[in-house]
Amino acid sequence: MDRGFVRRWSGLVVGAVLATAGLSGLAGCSSADGPPILRLGYFPNLTHATPIVGVQKGFFAQELGSDVKVETSTFNAGPAAVQALFSGAVDAVYLGPGPTLNAWQQSKGKALTVVAGAASGGAFLVTRPGITSPEQLRGKKLATPQLGNTQDVALRYWLKEHGLKTTRDGGGDVQVLPQDNAQTVTAFVSGAIDGAWVPEPYATRLRAAGGRVLVDERDLWPGGTFVVTNLVVSQKFLAGHRDLVKKLITGQVAANEFINAHPDEAQKVVSEGIGKLAGKPLDLTQTAQAWTSLRFLDDPVGSSLRECARHAHEVGLLDAVNLDGLYDLSLLNEVLTARGQPAVAA
């Protein structure tokens, strides 16, 4: 198996860990200059609606209280978010399963812990209208958000299941071209790509540009449920600040309760929140359309992450990995029980 990607990425990450080991010990700690700080990271995507609502509606701030300062950072790619977690630039971050698995493997299980899920669904393969079967993708160009990311693995594994080969460098029966999500719609309209496996809202934008859904990823999972976003925490921060992590989780559970009880208002909050980050709010009609494919839940759906690990291994993007110890759902279950909700298992 070609392990080049894993090893090169590993070298970068391990170097960052060694170079910034002192910084990670400082993250989130009290200091003489002010209150404790919790540094939180997330992405400006609909699949990260939970943290966006948590920040914009004040659920995190309310639970953490005025004695804790919350600092937020946003990322466009999983590896950048992982680097920030390893370096101590963030203490907790919302990640997809691909970056979660890579980070766990690169750190040999020493850097992060999954403490909750956040969202399921919201990922599609959208292609040109004339493409109606896997075989018609032979010789075509498809985009994914990033090499080795969640959707990249999903696409490569699905193609493999249908007898189509891919390579890391864009070769094989189908050319897979990792690119920034913001470029994907433009590339599709210009004819540079024939489709893309992407999260929302980009799948809906591709459909609005004339694409059709070839694969709804929900159809590939039991009950249509699979993890697309986890809440992960630095193990160092979790060990030293379990009280703050529990409050953060409480804020997340409250955010998801709000999202599920008030979907129309939540869509506006998320659109405006992304607008503050990207300079332009999302189109509310497209947001409403994309919203129907998403589920916001605190269960991390651990079985689907284990399947993601198997898929990544089979397409040559992840060495076999032992996931024992990746999850600590004890704080989440304390919060859920206190709110009259059923506990979840890893």
- Quick: pLDDT tens for 256-277: 999 999 999 999 999 999 998 8
**4-120+225-338 and 123-223, same CATH topology:** yes
Is residue 9 predicted with pLDDT exceeding 90? no
CA separation for the pair 283, 302 (Å, rounded):
33
CATH topology of domain 4-120+225-338: D-Maltodextrin-Binding Protein; domain 2 (3.40.190)
Contact 26, 32 (CB under 8 A): no
Contact 187, 179 (CB under 8 A): yes
| Nearest of 208, 203, 185, 43 to residue 121 by alpha carbon | 203
Contact 64, 251 (CB under 8 A): yes
**What pLDDT shows up at residue 49?**
97
The model's pLDDT over 197-229, given as tens digits with 9 standing for 90+, comes to: 999 989 999 999 999 999 999 999 999 999 999
CA separation for the pair 184, 78 (Å, rounded):
17
Percent of the chain at pLDDT > 70 equals 90
Residue 18 banded pLDDT, cuts 50, 70, 90: very low
CA separation for the pair 285, 291 (Å, rounded):
10
**What pLDDT shows up at residue 10?**
38
Q: Where are the domains of the chain?
A: 4-120+225-338, 123-223
Which class for 97: exposed (0-12), middle (13-18), buried (19 or more C-beta within 10 A)? Answer: buried
Architecture (CATH level 2) of domain 123-223 = 3-Layer(aba) Sandwich (3.40)
Is residue 247 predicted with pLDDT exceeding 80? yes
Is residue 164 predicted with pLDDT exceeding 50? yes
**What pLDDT shows up at residue 33?**
61
> Mean pLDDT across the chain, nearest whole number?
90
**What pLDDT shows up at residue 279?**
80
